[in-house]
Structure 1
Amino acid sequence: MSFIVNFTTRWADFDANIHMRHTAYNDYAAESRLRYFNQYGITIHDFTKEKVGPILFEENTKFLKEIHLGEDISVNLKITGLSSKGERWKIQHEVFNSQGKLSAVINVYGAWLDLAKRKLTVPPVKFQEIFTEAERTEDFKEILLKSEA
């Protein structure tokens, strides 16, 4: 299933060159992930209740086209990798400018963290299921953990 969020950019998102500052792209990608979780009924309160939260190991942004002051954007979410129990995941976000041109690609590699033990964990079933319906990239690969390799 395709997932895309439209955003109205803010003055604070832009730098002295009147284009979107580099960290704003990643902020919008993070916001789209939280909105994706929320679409499946997982809120920040569920993270606290279940004592599980998402963490990132890597975040890589490739900038392709400027986004200028006053432009609105859209950000999608696709899965590029997932482990068998959903404990680790790779997500790709594409950021499009107001003309629909691809402006940036953001790839993140993350996992679920047990907030009490501060260790990686297999998430509750509710959390595992959120990525099963997500659109996958053409180069999707299962993430094999050391115990599975």
Structure 2
Amino acid sequence: MNFKVNFTTKWADFDANIHMRHTAYNDYAAESRLRYFKKYDITIHDFTKEKIGPILFEENTKFLKEIHLGEDISVNLKLLGLSRNGERWKIQHEVFNKDGKLSAIITVYGAWLDLVKRKLTVPPSKFQDIFKEAEKTENYEEILINQ
């Protein structure tokens, strides 16, 4: 399933060079992940109720083309990898400018955290189900966990 979010950029997203700040790209990627969770009826209330939350180990951004002041963007979400038990995941976001040109690729490696024990955890099935129909990248791989 293809998932893409359109965003209207704002003044605060841009720097003195009149292009989008490097951290703004990552903010929009994070927002698209939360909107993806919401599409599957997972909200902040579910995180609180289940005492679970997403955490990131790694975030990498490759910049390809400038996004200028006043341009709107779109950000997609694709699955790069998932552990068999659903505990860990890798997501790729592609950021497109107003003309549909690929402007950045953001990859994140994360997992589900038990908010009480402060340890990684296998999420409840509701949280595992969100990635079942996610579009996968061409280089998708199962994440192997060293026990």
- With normalisation by structure 2, the TM-score equals 0.99
Per-residue CA deviations over 1:15-57 (Å, capped at 9, x if unaligned) read 0000000000000000000000000000011000000000000
Partner of 1:91: 91
Matched AA of 2:98: S
Per-residue CA deviations over 1:57-90 (Å, capped at 9, x if unaligned) read 0000000000000000000000000001211000
Deviation at residue 135 of structure 1 after TM alignment: 0.1
Matched AA of 1:134: A
Structure 2 unaligned regions, length at least 5: none
SS in 2 for 1:126: helix
Partner of 2:127: 127
Q: In the alignment, is residue 145 of structure 1 matched against residue 142 of structure 2? A: no
Report the Cα distance in structure 2 between the residues aligned to 1:129 and 1:144, rounded to whole angstroms: 19
Partner of 2:39: 39
How many positions carry a matched residue from both structures?
Answer: 147
Q: How large is the Cα RMSD of the aligned pairs?
A: 0.4
1:31-110 superposed matches below 5 A: 31-110=31-110
Identity in percent: 82
Matched AA of 1:17: N
Structure 1 unaligned regions, length at least 5: none
Deviation at residue 146 of structure 1 after TM alignment: 1.0
Report the Cα distance in structure 2 between the residues aligned to 1:24 and 1:80, rounded to whole angstroms: 22
